[in-house]
Amino acid sequence: MIFDWLSSLIGNEIIAGIICACLPLFLFILPFALVAVLMERKVSAHMQDRLGPMRTGYHGIIQTIADILKLFQKEDIMSNEVDKPLFNIAPVLTFIGSYAAFAAIPFTSNFIGTKLDLGIVYILGVSSFGVVSILMAGWSSNNKYSLLGAMRSAAQLVSYEIPTFLVVVTLITVTGTTSLLNLSEMQTGHFWNWMILGGPGLNLTKFLLIPFMIVGAVIVFISTLAEVNRTPFDVPEADSELVAGYYTEYSGMKFAMFFLAEYANMFAVSAIVSALFFGGYQSPFGYLGNLLGVSWLVPFEQLFWFTLKGCLFVFVQMWLRWTLPRLRVDQLMTLCWKYLIPFAFANLLIVGLLVVL
pLDDT band at 290 (very low <50, low <70, confident <90, very high): confident
CA angle at residue 203 from 197 to 207, to 5 degrees? 35
Answer whether residue 219 shows pLDDT above 80.
yes
Answer whether residue 5 shows pLDDT above 60.
no
pLDDT band at 9 (very low <50, low <70, confident <90, very high): low
Average pLDDT over residues 178-182: 87
Contacts of 18 (CB under 8 A, 6+ apart): none
Alpha-carbon dihedral sign for residues 337, 341, 343, 345: negative
pLDDT tens, residue by residue, 227-249: 888 878 887 777 666 676 777 88
- Residue 148's identity, in one-letter code, is L
Answer whether residue 146 shows pLDDT above 70.
yes
Q: Give the predicted TM-score (pTM) of the model.
A: 0.88
Separation between Cα atoms, residue 2 and residue 19, nearest integer Å? 10
The overall average pLDDT reported for the chain is 84
The share of the chain scoring above pLDDT 70, in percent, equals: 91
Three-state SS string over 264-323 comes to HHHHHHHHHHHHHHCCCCCCCCCCHHHHHCCHHHHHHHHHHHHHHHHHHHHHHHHHHHCC
pLDDT band at 25 (very low <50, low <70, confident <90, very high): low
Answer whether residue 3 shows pLDDT above 60.
no
Average pLDDT over residues 155-176: 90
Q: Given this model, what pLDDT does residue 336 score?
A: 92
Question: How many alpha carbons fall within 13 Å on the CB side of residue 258?
Answer: 24
Q: Which of 196-205, 304-313, 329-338 has the lowest mean pLDDT?
A: 196-205
Q: Given this model, what pLDDT does residue 54 score?
A: 86
14 or 261, greater pLDDT: 261
pLDDT tens, residue by residue, 246-286: 778 887 788 888 888 888 888 999 999 999 999 889 988 88
